[in-house]
Chain A
C-alpha cells in the first residue's frame, strides 16, 4: 500500500486512491484528491454532499444508497455527477474518506 504526504499530513491509501482509515481524514485530503477526480474548486454544494456522506457513515457504518444521498442533499443524480464527475462512489466517497465501495461493481 502506498502512503501520500500532502501539506505535512501522511495518508495511507490503496491502489484506487481510497483512504485506508476513515480516521485519517482531514480537510486537506479533499484538496489533495480533487484534482484526480476532475474537480477544480470545492464549492458549498460539494461540501454539502461530503458532509452528508461522513455523517451518514459515522451513524450507520456504511455509505448511503444513492437514493438516500439524493433525498437528503436535494441533489439529483445528474447534479451529483456534475459536481463529482466519477460519481458518488468513486468521487464523493473517496473525497469524504469513506471505505471503498465493494460488491458486483
Chain B
C-alpha cells in the first residue's frame, strides 16, 4: 500500500518506455521490505514522499522545493546541491533532499563491482534514487540529509577511491566521448586527456575561485558525441592534418552493395541502392571529392574534415595519421546575453601526454578571465565584452582567417596608437592653420 495516492503519476506507468514512476515505486517497496535488514540512515519512506511531493506538483503545476540550499563537506566549496521541500510536514521523508555529485570515470565505463559499492553505500545513506548521469557527466546521488554528507564523502573516498564532482563557480566535472576505447574515428585519446586534466585541476574543481562556472569537454572527432562545442567553455575536438586514407577496394564494395552505407544506420527504410555520387560526392560541403567510376579521389587541401564521407563509408575512408585537436572557446546557455557555441581559438594543437601545451593555454585563459571576468560572467560573455582580439592577445595566438566565419561588415575598427603614424596627440591650432573655422 503506497503512502500517498498518486493518480496522475500512475498514468505514467503505462506505455512502452521505461517508467521512472514504476522504478521509484519499486525502490519504495524494496525499502519498506528491507530484505537486507539495513539500518537506513535517512527516512525509509523517502522515495514514497518524493512521489507524493511530485504528485502535488502535478496537481498544482508548481514546484515544491525551497529556494537554494548551501550544504557541503569540509575542505570543498562544491559537490553537493542542497535542497529542502517547502512542505516538510506533509512529506517529512524529503524535508532534506540534497544531491551529491560524484566524479564519474571518463566515458562512463564501469565494473558491476564498483556500481554495487556505490549502490550499497547509497541504499544505506541516501534515498536509493540516482541520475545516471547528470548532463555534465557526474554520477548523481539524488536525495539525502545533511548529516549524511560527511559520511558519504568518507565512504567514497576511503573505500571506493572516488571523489565528488564539481558545482559552483569553479571547474565543473570534465567529460569526454568514449574516444579510442571503441571508435575508429578518435583522433586522440579523449578519455586520457579528460582524466589527466581532471586530476591536474582538482583544486580548481573543488574550491570555487572563478567568476563563474567553467566546463571542459573532449570530443575525439568533429561528430561531437559529448557535444563539447555546445556545452563546454573549453572544447577540445579531435581532427587530423594530413590526407583521408581511402581503401579503394572497400569503396567498390560500398558501390557494389556488399557494405551498407553509414554502417546500416538507415536500414529501417528503403532508400534505394547506394549512390556514391548522390550520397557522398555531392554532399561534400567543399565539393572536394570526385568519383571516376572506379576510384574515389579527395582533394584534401580543400577538405574541412566534416566527417561526412567517413561517416558514410567507415570501412573505406579513414581519418588521417597526423592527428591532434582544435580548441574552441566560450559555449554557454542563453543566460544572460544569449546562447553561444564554441568559437575556434586554436585550429590544430598536438595532443600527447603530458598535455603541457593544452595546460599552458588553459592557464593563460584562466589568468585573464579570473582577473577581468565580472561576477557571474561566463568566458563566452567576457569574450563578447572585451573582444576576441583580447583573447588572442592574452593567449599569444596570431590572428588568422580560420578565426572567423566571415570578416566584420561594420567599419568601427579600433587601431592601436602605435600602429598609426603620429599617434593620437594632435594640436588643434596646427590643424586650424590649414583649415580656417
Contact = CB atoms under 8 A, between A and B. Distances in A.
Interface of A: 15-16, 18, 38, 62, 65-67, 77-78, 81, 85-90, 94, 100-105
Contacts of A77: 207, 209
Interface string B45-84: 0000000000000000000001111111111111001101
A38 B81 CA distance: 20
B74 A105 contact: no
B207 to A, nearest CB: 6
B168 interface: yes
A72 to B, nearest CB: 15
Determine the main DSSP class of A at the interface with B. Answer: loop
A87 B76 contact: yes
Contacts of A90: 70-72, 77
B69 A86 contact: no
Interface string B156-169: 00000000000111
A103 B335 CA distance: 12
B74 A89 contact: no
Contacts of B78: 105
B84 A15 contact: yes
B208 interface: yes
B213 interface: yes
Interface of B: 66-78, 81-82, 84, 96, 167-169, 203, 207-211, 213, 370-371, 375-376
B70 A100 contact: yes
A78 B206 CA distance: 11
17 contacts: A15-B69, A15-B84, A15-B96, A16-B70, A16-B82, A62-B375, A77-B207, A78-B203, A85-B75, A87-B76, A87-B77, A90-B77, A101-B68, A104-B167, A104-B168, A104-B213, A105-B168
Contacts of B370: 67
Q: Report whether over half of chain B's contact residues are helix, strand or loop; otherwise say mixed.
A: loop
A67 B169 CA distance: 12
B72 to A, nearest CB: 6
Given A65-B211, A67-B370, A105 B68 contact: yes
B169 A66 contact: yes
A83 to B, nearest CB: 12
Given A18-B70, A102-B67, A104-B213, A87 B375 contact: no
Nearest to B208: A66
Contacts of B371: 67
B336 to A, nearest CB: 12
A101 B371 CA distance: 21
A14 B82 CA distance: 12
B74 A38 contact: yes
Contacts of B66: 15
Given A16-B70, A66-B169, A67-B370, A86 B77 contact: yes
A99 to B, nearest CB: 10
Given A67-B209, A77-B209, A89-B208, A102 B68 contact: yes
A88 B168 CA distance: 12
B70 to A, nearest CB: 5
Contact of B69 (A16, A67, A94): A16
A105 B66 CA distance: 14
Contacts of A67: 209, 211, 370-371
B74 A100 contact: no
B376 A105 contact: no
A66 B169 CA distance: 10
Contact of B167 (A18, A78, A94, A105): A105
